[in-house]
Structure formats: structure tokens, C-alpha cells
Amino acid sequence: MKRSRRYNNKYNSKRKTQKSAKSLRRLIKDFEHYSPLHRTHHSGNLKQHSVWVTYYLQEAIKTPGKSPLGDVWNMIKHIKKTKRLRLNFERILIVSSLLHDIGKGGDLIFEYLSKPGHEKKGYLYLDEQEPYLLKNGKKLSIKELLRDFSTEEQEWIKWLVLYHWNLGILLKEKRPRAPHSIEKIAKEFIESLHNINSRTSLGKIFVLLQFMLCCADVLGAQPYCGDLEELDLFKYPEFSKDCFPTDLSMYKYYGYSSFVPKLINALYEQLNIT
């Protein structure tokens, strides 16, 4: 008995999705082998950090009223609705958060102090310009990893990975305390996103998505110092208190909860969002 063309297309699409999900699980599993040596700067292994970053973003999406990032997400949904945009920005953001530090893996150097330029390497991996090697020495199939995404969605993911550390760099260089400093950070952050036209609706959404990923990346570096009471990260067995430092100096410096709302307002002003 012959299958209909519609059934075959649906069956093949399901198989592609399953292969893409399997490849993503294989990659996240490989992240377990990569760990930074400076735990006071970056807690957990690469898998844990990637999951924590994704968790912060999922919380902002599901319960937008609980965090400043949720307000940004509401703005993204508002722009999408008013401009009738069809891209699935939630899926793009979540997958980008899982892959944002892919550039720290794939080189079989499992313990490291730091990996400068990892954001660029991540872009090269996803653009198939360099091979990502799994622990067993086999090459990860990026084509299979991203096959469930359209060409446009893949480009968004690549660019979000490329620019995910731009805000972190600015926060290290400038102390975000004075109002003029926050305005300058917002302006320089937008300017650092090369080839992104922030005057268009899609450009504005990209800036806001990038900002959400950058903030979650900062929080995910030391979730012990973040909004722990609200997120309750330790209710999950894979999150162990043993891997977290007791030195909170880094997050006292960043002062996440105090300056991020001000930075969001400064971004809106720069983007002419009301």
C-alpha cells in the first residue's frame, strides 16, 4: 500500500527533527567534559553553564513579570505582533543559549583558564568553517544539528552566538553606575553588533534578543549569585552546591538587579522604542 505524499513529507520532517534533537543532545553531553579552572569566575562545567543560561531565559519567557528580562521579552512579542513577523524568536533564543559557548569546546582541551575568541570560534563551528571534534575524535555534524531550522533561523543563531560576549566585555571595561555610563554602554552595545541595522523591526528584535542572551550569560556564570530564591536552581539533582564559589565579589561588581532595568530603558531610547 502506497503512502500519500503528505504522509511522507510529515514522516520525513519528523525524522529530521529527531535527528536534530539527537545531535543536540550529543553535543550538550560532550560539553560535560569541558571545565574552566577559575571557579570564582565561572562556575560549573560547560554543560551546566549552558543549561543555567537557558533556564534564566526560559523563566523570563514563561513568567515575564518576575525579571527585567521578561519585560524585554514582552517588548519583542509586541514588535513581532504589530509588524506581523513570522520568525519563531523563542526557539531561536533558546537554541542560541544552549549553543552560545560551543566555541569553548570541540578542541579537546578539556580544562582551561580561558578561551579568548570563543565566540568567533563558535560562529565558525556553526558556519562549518571549522570542525567541532567530539571527545571520541569524531566530527560533529553541524548540518544535522541545525537541519530542523530554516536558513534564516540558522543565520540568527550564528549571529547571536557570535555577539553573545559583547555586553560582558563592556561591563568589564566600564562600571555601570552613573547614568551617563549606562547610556554609553547601551549605545556601544548596539554599535558593537556589526552588520545589524537597528533601525528596522528585525534589527531591533535582534538587539533585544542579543541583550537577553548576554544578560543570561552573565547570570549563568555564577547562578549562586543570581536570583536564587526565585529560580530555586538547586531543586534539580544535577545542580550541586559543591560547584559554586562563595566569593560574590564579581556580582557585587556587576550589580545585576540594580542597573539592568536602567540599561533596558537606555536601550529602548537608543532604539527609539516606546
pLDDT band at 219 (very low <50, low <70, confident <90, very high): confident
The CA angle 23-155-183, to the nearest 5 degrees, is: 120
Cα 71 from chain centroid?
17
pLDDT digits (tens, 9 = 90+) for 155-207: 999 999 999 999 988 887 766 556 668 899 999 999 999 989 999 999 999 99
CA distance 202 to 106: 31
| Range with the poorest average pLDDT among 91-95, 171-175, 183-187, 216-220 | 171-175
pLDDT above 80: residue 147: yes
Comparing 109 with 242, the larger pLDDT belongs to 109
pTM: 0.84
Per-residue pLDDT at 233? 39
Residue 79 DSSP label: H
pLDDT of res. 250:
38
The DSSP secondary structure of 133-151, one letter per residue, reads BPTTSPBP-HHHHTTTS-H
Domain borders along the chain are 22-270
